[in-house]
Amino acid sequence: MSDPTPDEELPMTHTGPKGVISDWRKFKLESEDYESMPPNKRELLRQMSIPKSTGDEERVNRKMSMQEYELIKEEDERCLKKYRKQCMQDMHERLSFGPTFESVHDLESGEAFLEVIEKEHQLTVVVVHIYEDRIQGCEALNGCLTCLSAEYPSVKFCKIRASCTGAADRFTDDVLPAILVYKEGELLGNFMSITKHLNGDFFATDVEAFLNEYGLLPEKEFTACLDDEEADVE
């Protein structure tokens, strides 16, 4: 196997204890507001970012660890949360093999419907809700898919009115709301009158459980965890 070109290489992230400390120092150095920082702390952070010589490494490291502790103790909680969030996002990007979406996409024509089925990334699951506003349950199902799109960003959730599909004779009122699930252009799930399979008052968790019964959703990602950390930071 040939070596990757520079453009193909992933960003380097250290994994050992010393590497984590080094990454943390670099992140903190880049994220601090130097204009408002006291000169002594500014100099301390600058020193922390410079590799030390090996001559008296043990003595210097012991001294710097105490200084780092004092600095973190005073003002680092907010920066540390940002750093953890950045690390999780970087990890997610390296492990993700397809695009992400995080919203429900409106399809306005039969051509758009076919395009999303045939041209989407081969690893992307496409969930299409076919609806009409006048049909009971359609509005609620759209709301459920909006919630699920935030929890499953690798899934492309779409919605289209039956009258816009170019196949209105197939999607008559008595089979709506309908959900079709595709991957690599192949139809994996075809659910007509899906509300008949759900409770009268259904929620996103009910729709999620129904799709999971057929193995149509991927493993849930840690987006919610990232959102919680972001809320803590703000």
Per-residue model confidence as pLDDT tens digits over 167-197: 888 999 999 999 999 999 999 999 999 999 9
Per-residue model confidence as pLDDT tens digits over 89-129: 666 555 556 788 889 999 999 999 999 999 998 889 999 99
pLDDT at 1: 47
pLDDT at 44: 65
Per DSSP, the three-state class of 45 is: helix
pLDDT at 99: 82
Average pLDDT estimate for 135-148: 96
pLDDT at 176: 96
Average pLDDT estimate for 201-210: 95
Q: What CA–CA distance (Å, rounded) separates 188 from 180?
A: 8
Provide the percentage of residues in the chain whose pLDDT is more than 90.
44
Q: What CA–CA distance (Å, rounded) separates 134 from 28?
A: 54
Question: Strand 178-183 vs strand 186-191: parallel, antiparallel, or unpaired?
Answer: antiparallel
Per-residue model confidence as pLDDT tens digits over 157-169: 999 999 999 988 8
pLDDT at 213: 95
Cα 33 to its chain centre, rounded Å, is: 28
Average pLDDT estimate for 36-60: 58
pLDDT at 86: 72
Contact status, residue 107 vs residue 98, Cβ threshold 8 Å: no
Q: What CA–CA distance (Å, rounded) separates 211 from 224?
A: 20
Q: What CA–CA distance (Å, rounded) separates 56 from 127?
A: 61
Average pLDDT estimate for 5-13: 43
Q: What CA–CA distance (Å, rounded) separates 156 from 81?
A: 30
> Which of 190, 194, 198, 189 minimizes the C-alpha distance to 216?
189
pLDDT at 57 over 90: no
For residue 230, what pLDDT band results from cuts at 50, 70 and 90?
Answer: very low
pLDDT at 231: 46
**Mean pLDDT of all residues belonging to the chain:** 75
pLDDT at 21: 57
Q: What CA–CA distance (Å, rounded) separates 211 from 151?
A: 14
Q: 167 or 44: whose pLDDT is higher?
A: 167
Rounded to whole angstroms, what are the CA distances from 116 to 43, 80, 111, 134? 54, 40, 9, 25
